[in-house]
Structure formats: structure tokens, C-alpha cells
Amino acid sequence: MSPLAKTTERIPASVQASSVRRIWTAAWTITSVFVLSNSATPLYVRWQAEMGFSSGTLTLIFAAYIAGLLGTLLFAGRLSDRYGRKPVLFPGLAAAVIACFLFVSASTVAALLLARLLSGIAVGVIVSAGMASVMDVGGAARRTTASLAASVAMVLGAGLGPLLSGVLTETLADPIVAVYGAQLVILASAFIAVGSLPLPRYAPAGDGGRRLQLPSVPERNRRHLAFGIAVFAPGITATSFVLSLGPSLFSKLLGATSPLVSGGTACIMFLTATGIQFVLKKLPVRTLLLLGALATLLSMACTAAAVYASAVVPLVLAAMLAGAGQGLGQLGGLTLIGLHVPENRRAEANAVLNMGGYIPAALLSVGTGYLTDFAGLAPGATVFAAVLAAVSVGAMLAIGAKREFD
């Protein structure tokens, strides 16, 4: 019997149950912010028609979110590891609240850019301090459960946001107030959840607490992060493509103009990412990563097929496979962090993992947006699919050559 199993056996059942409840309470804060992160997806076509901006500008608005996220990841992890989770989480939730009010009142592209920037800041806090808080309350005995909860919470929120927005946009003449009013209620519950958690404060590692540095991980853990990023990055880039240009593909190429179609597809994409993690959670990390890379590769094949056949079904299938790729890459990466990275460096490690994923997601999505303005939607989507397919194949080859992840 493993030492971890022996430790779990010595914990009273009531304490174990309390630990599991706290894990999912902490995970709810992640879900609440990720609901906001993609709630704008079904509304993009509406804003685009009202304000008259191009596909390139649309991907730039999406990239503003990633810019806010990446900028926050530069310091949120270290601040969280130094001063504790709550002093970082509360300002992140406050940024999400301000973003909601900006979305409601937006009448210009600049307002949308600022709202998305603040949404990215909130998500940057959540994927570093928020995910670390889930691992904190799980403790050593429940690292695997905590990794699963953190990963599932992210993709579940990312899926629920566009579904909620799509339903309200389809049924209400003026859905924006309803969408972000509901989001404010969800965020209020997140404030309560964070306040109820017994989150520890760790002593700063490495710099003695004197100064902030770029997020990093111990040298012995860099290969763990590299394998996670190799699969997570193509997966989240694929889902970012669906979120940013998916509505345009549905409306311009496939003739599906209902916001419920794009919102529902995004929801299915992230529900797939959620479900596949529960189904495959007991597989070895190496297998999870290989399957994640394969799913992203197949997603790109379906994307190309959808574009040239002008068919909705292959595009929906592409979205589902993209969700599976992101979900498995994310679960594999977070599991490696939970098992190998010291607890007082986990927020930083989460930041590094997400920076490694979101940077290519931003660059490729924006580049594809402007390429579609120049060459057309079909060529732009084809180039995107080819690049991401090549990266996925490279990840599979690299992980396949590595037999152990200890």
C-alpha cells in the first residue's frame, strides 16, 4: 500500500468529507469567473453588427482578454505564494464585477476591449491563486481529487458561460443586462466561497520575499511543465479559435446565425472537456497527454472538413474534440504540478502552465483573424488547422518517446 493511501486511511471519514466539500467550494470560485470568460461569445455577432468592426478587430477583442490574463500571470502567482490566496483572489473577483458593468454599458470597441481586459485579469488571478487554493484545501492526501476539481471547474465554467448567454440572447430582445446580471449573482457567491475557505499563507521561496520576479518553477520540475504545455497549449488554442471565430464561421460560412448555435457549440465543447476528464481520470498522465494531443489533431482535421464542405456537423465535432484536447492537456498538466511541484510554488507553476497555453492561443487566433480579413475565412481556417495539427503531432512524438513522468 502506498504512503498516500495509508495517510488517507488515518483521516476520519468526517474530516475526509469536509475536505472534499472544501475542494469543490474552492473550485466553485474558478467556475464562477470562467462563466464570465466566455459569456461574450454569443454576443460578438450582435456587437459586430451594431458597431461594424471586422473579424480582425473581433479577434483583437478576444486577445485583449488574453493580454489581461498573461499580464496578471506575471505577478499573481508570486503574490499569492507570498501573501496568501485571499489577498489576491478578492481583487480578482472585483475586476470581474467591474467587467460586468462595462459589458452592460458598452457602446464602443474600446469599452469591449477594456471589459475583456478586466475579464482576463480576473481569470489570471483564478488560474494561479484560485487553482492553487483548490490544491491547498485538498492537502497531500487528495492531490488527485484537487487536480481534477480545479481542471473540471475551469472547463465547466467556460462552457456554462456561452450556454447561459446563448439562451438569453435567443429568448430576450435585450439580453445583455440579463446575462451580466446573472453573472453578478454568481460572482457574489464566489466572494462568499473565498471568505469561507481556510487558506494558508506560505513562506516565500527563493527570493526571501524581498522582490517580485517572473513566475518560474524549480529546475527539476521544468520538464513536468513542458509536457503539460505541449498538449495544453494546442488544446486551448483550438478552443480559443472556436470562441473567437466560431460565431463568424457559423454565420458567414455555414449560414447559421442564431446565437444559440455558437453558444451551444461552445457549451458542448467545454462539457466534453469536463466529461472526458471524469471518464479518463484514472489513466496514467502520459496516456492522458497522448490522447489530448490526438484529440486536438482530429479537431483540426474536422475543422478543415467543415470549412470546405460548408457543413455544421464537422464543425461541432471539431469543437468537441478541441474541448477534449484542452481538458486532457489541462488535467495532465495540473496533475503533474500537484504531484511534483512544492506547495509553496504551485501558484507560480499554474501561472507558467497557463502562460504557455495562452500565449500561442492569442498569437494564432489574432493572426488567423487578420488572415481571414485578407484572404478569406476558408484559407485562414485552413492555415490555422495545418499549424495546430503539426504542433499536435510534434507533441505526440515527444511524449511518446518519454516513458516515465516521475
How does pLDDT run across 46-95, given as a tens digit for each residue?
Answer: 888 888 877 678 778 877 888 898 889 888 878 887 888 889 999 999 99
d(CA 315, CA 330): 22
- Does the structure show a pLDDT above 90 at 234? yes
Inside any domain, residue 298:
yes
d(CA 195, CA 93): 12
- Per-residue pLDDT tens for 377-396? 778 888 999 999 999 999 99
- CA 232 to chain centroid, in Å, comes to 10
Q: Structural domain of residue 393, as residue ranges?
A: 22-199+215-401
Q: Which helix or strand (DSSP H or E) is residue 326 part of?
A: helix 312-340
Inside any domain, residue 17:
no
Closest CA to 363 of 237, 245, 230: 237
Structural domain count of the chain:
1
Q: And the C-alpha cell for 95?
A: 475586476
pLDDT above 70: percentage of residues in the chain: 85
Identify which of 9-18, 20-29, 130-139, 251-260 has the greatest average pLDDT.
20-29
User: pLDDT value at position 2?
Assistant: 38
pLDDT above 90: percentage of residues in the chain: 31
Identify which of 51-60, 145-154, 237-246, 340-349 has the greatest average pLDDT.
145-154
d(CA 305, CA 299): 10
Inside any domain, residue 134:
yes
The end-to-end CA distance of the chain, in Å, is 18
CA 285 vs CA 77, 168, 175, 177: distances in Å: 24, 39, 42, 43
Average pLDDT, the chain: 82
User: pLDDT value at position 325?
Assistant: 95
Hey, is 215 helix, strand or coil?
A: coil
Inside any domain, residue 3:
no
d(CA 146, CA 152): 10
- Does the structure show a pLDDT above 80 at 108? yes
Q: Which helix or strand (DSSP H or E) is residue 3 part of?
A: helix 3-10
Inside any domain, residue 308:
yes
- Does the structure show a pLDDT above 60 at 206? no
Inside any domain, residue 304:
yes
Residue 387 near residue 238 (C-beta atoms within 8 A)? no
Q: What angle do CA 392, 394, 395 make, to 5 degrees?
A: 65
CA 132 vs CA 28, 30, 84, 174, 201: distances in Å: 13, 11, 10, 38, 11
Q: Which helix or strand (DSSP H or E) is residue 218 part of?
A: none
Residue 26 near residue 126 (C-beta atoms within 8 A)? no
User: pLDDT value at position 321?
Assistant: 95
- Per-residue pLDDT tens for 321-349? 999 999 999 899 988 888 888 877 877 88
Residue 301 near residue 389 (C-beta atoms within 8 A)? yes
d(CA 153, CA 168): 22
Residue 73 near residue 343 (C-beta atoms within 8 A)? no
User: pLDDT value at position 1?
Assistant: 40
User: pLDDT value at position 259?
Assistant: 63
pTM assigned to the model: 0.73
Inside any domain, residue 71:
yes
Buried residues in 193-215 as b, exposed as e (16+ CB within 10 A)? bbeebebeebebbeeeeeeeeeb
d(CA 192, CA 29): 9
More confident: 357 or 81: 357
User: pLDDT value at position 34?
Assistant: 92
| CATH code at position 110 | 1.20.1250.20
Inside any domain, residue 386:
yes
Task: Please report which confidence band the pLDDT of residue 6 belongs to, taking 50, 70 and 90 as the band edges.
Answer: very low
Hey, is 153 helix, strand or coil?
A: helix
Closest CA to 353 of 150, 164, 210, 141: 150
